[in-house]
Amino acid sequence: MKGMPLISVVIPVYNEESYVSDLIKSIKQQTYKNYEIIAADSSTDNTPNILKKLNVKIVTIPKTNVSSARNAGIKKAKGEILALIDADYILQKNLFKSVVKAFKDDKNKRVVCMEPRSKLSLKDLKKRDIVKFRILNELIYVYKRVSFFTFLPAAYGCDFCRAEAVKKSGLFNEDIDVAEDKEFFSRLRKIGKFKMIKQHVRMSYRRHSKEGAIKTGLLYFFATVSALFTKRFKFKFKSIRRKSKKK
């Protein structure tokens, strides 16, 4: 596809049988078709079978942390654009097209990373929590936009990066278990700008819902401080994955 840059979608996957098919289907519905999907998988549930049925390229890895999984996928990627997407997202169908256009319009290659706006996914949310998380989501959106002008961008979950910029800044630090994205994107930000685009994605708040928004927020805060200054944070998230309902 001459003139159409390849997008390499890298998805770290561990026991995501209840979520990953929604993401893959939303990728396959993209109006922009020049992409590859790479799942770095260490699952023990039905996730690998789901990925195989959806014709996803699988890189099987030992279960370590998300940094190792992302790095394994990035090393296999061939695209000019790296899409680093978590397994519980759902994409708007014109997202890839908008990302490619935005990168092409940036003639001087000043922008190294783009992120769509996140909207609330209702999956696994209790009805009583919907309003609370909608408010939280709007606050996070404002925080993200402001942070993109600083040297500590709050980018995570669904990000599109220039592969050449990632090569210069270096891969994810595999010694960091939580807030690894903060440390990674702080290095990428030194090379160029971050940009928020108008397209949106659906984002799961399953961790906030299961473990509590305040507790999760504090965890990320302390993890970010530790990741930036010591490059190490060994806290492990409790498992929050749901099994698929049997029919």
List, for residues 8-22, the tens digit of each pLDDT value.
Answer: 999 999 999 999 999
Secondary structure of the chain as H, E, C letters:
CCCCCCEEEEEEECCCCCCHHHHHHHHHCCCCCCEEEEEEECCCCCHHHHHHHCCCEEEECCCCCHHHHHHHHHHHCCCCEEEEECCCCEECCCHHHHHHHHHHHCCCCCEEEEEEEEEECCCCCCHHHHHHHHHHHHHHHHHHHHHCCCCCCCCCCEEEEEHHHHHHHCCCCCCECCCHHHHHHHHHHCCCEEEEEEEEEEECCHHHHHHCHHHHHHHHHHHHHHHHHCCCECCCCCCCCCCCCCC
229-241 residue pLDDT tens = 665 555 555 554 5
pLDDT-derived band at 208 (thresholds 50, 70, 90) equals low
Q: How confident is the model at residue 223 (pLDDT cuts 50, 70, 90)?
A: low
Annotated domain spans of the chain:
7-229
User: Which CATH architecture best describes the domain 7-229?
Assistant: Alpha-Beta Complex (3.90)
The model's pTM: 0.86
